[in-house]
Chains A and B, each alone.
Chain A
């Protein structure tokens, strides 16, 4: 355990980097998700097709390959990315492709009557999307978005392989200098676990906050609680 205490500042810095990477790529992921997800639903072929190809390519290949490609193969085209940039870009695009399917699914499965009502009221397509369709789809998107974000957090550990000094990278460093493998790795496992628990709590809170019908939700919770008591 002594190595963990001695090297706590290094682990702390690693933790901050992990959080930074998560926040940056999480933001990119959201932008990509809405851009690609909406383009996938567009009536224009020139929007729908590229978005479809993007989603399938980024979901069909592994994240590590994408990250290495951005970091090692892109220089052959004369573009040398900073490790952090390559890492954030790969994470954001990869998880964004998964989240784009969430956006698409949530919007596609919404009640048709809402769109028809908008058209009847003479709303412009852009206004319709912004004021009616997207806000109504948010509650359906939140639970799967939560899963994507937890995945993203866990996948940030891969950035250590392109030399970004995150938690995993620091742990490897400390392991090779002290040899106290067990203590170090157990510590960072717990740290990652706490982070993903916090993220789960946050999305749970957002889900309650943005629930379409909070009263119904409360009733549902009460019922499930009663059922649990009944089962026990």
Chain B
């Protein structure tokens, strides 16, 4: 028999622990990415000299380079300058910053989708800038952005496996560790794949439904 069922059952609790870490990374990373992406999008839109072009370049640069290399940079380079967190925190920050670059684009299209009349109405009512953004523009922009955020959440869930390369003990790293200590990779890797699928497939179905519900109404 190629597949060892008893072994598979015995490693399942460990893998579930890894899955829990993966879920935590995803949720924290998405939170960071959602906030940071919004900041980036607004900064770009405000067209502040020097700052806005720098943010724009940063966003393009992050989107053009591999997550793994960014993770290595944060893990190996930053400690050389005295900045060091544990692997898990580094992982969350890296994946959060990486996805914030993608989310900045999503927010940007959301902000662009807000009809011009809304800006003009805010100006006509002489609302201050902060209130125009906070009460008029962003609530409308974010509405159209929600399903895209869901897609990135699922994408991040799968991408977080990359963080196993910088010793974050999530699902993938757990599967790998079990494999190398028992010389049996088939069961842990297959189970890891199934666990990824078991969460991401229903989640993507859910996002599809949200997509239809939150479809822009103007």
Contacts and interface: CB of A to CB of B under 8 A. Distances in A.
B64 interface: yes
A128 interface: no
A57 B61 CA distance: 30
Interface residues of A, number: 40
Contacts of A188: 69
B80 interface: yes
B contact face: mostly helix, strand, loop, or mixed: helix
Question: Interface centre among B65, B67, B164, by most A CB within 10 Å?
Answer: B65
Given A154-B67, A189-B65, A192-B64, A65 B162 contact: no
B64 A62 contact: no
Nearest to A161: B165
B189 A189 contact: no
Contacts of A150: 64
Contacts of B162: 62, 64, 158
B166 to A, nearest CB: 11
Interface stretch (B28-36, B71-79, B133-141): B71-79
B159 A181 contact: no
A68 B176 contact: yes
A182 B77 contact: yes
A24 interface: no
B196 interface: yes
A197 B68 contact: no
B123 to A, nearest CB: 15
Contacts of A56: 197, 201
Question: Interface centre among B70, B72, B200, by most A CB within 10 Å?
Answer: B72
A154 B197 CA distance: 23
Contact of A185 (B67, B72, B161, B192): B72
B212 to A, nearest CB: 15
B150 interface: no
B159 A62 contact: yes
A182 B154 CA distance: 32
B118 interface: no
A54 interface: no
Contacts of B68: 157-158, 160-161, 168
A62 B196 contact: yes
A181 B185 contact: no
A60 B63 CA distance: 22
Interface string A61-81: 111111011001101110000
B49 to A, nearest CB: 13
A154 B196 contact: no
11 contacts: A56-B201, A60-B158, A62-B159, A76-B185, A154-B67, A185-B77, A188-B69, A189-B73, A193-B64, A196-B63, A197-B64
Which 3 residue pairs of A and B lie closest in terms of their CB atoms, listed nearest first? A72-B185, A157-B66, A62-B158
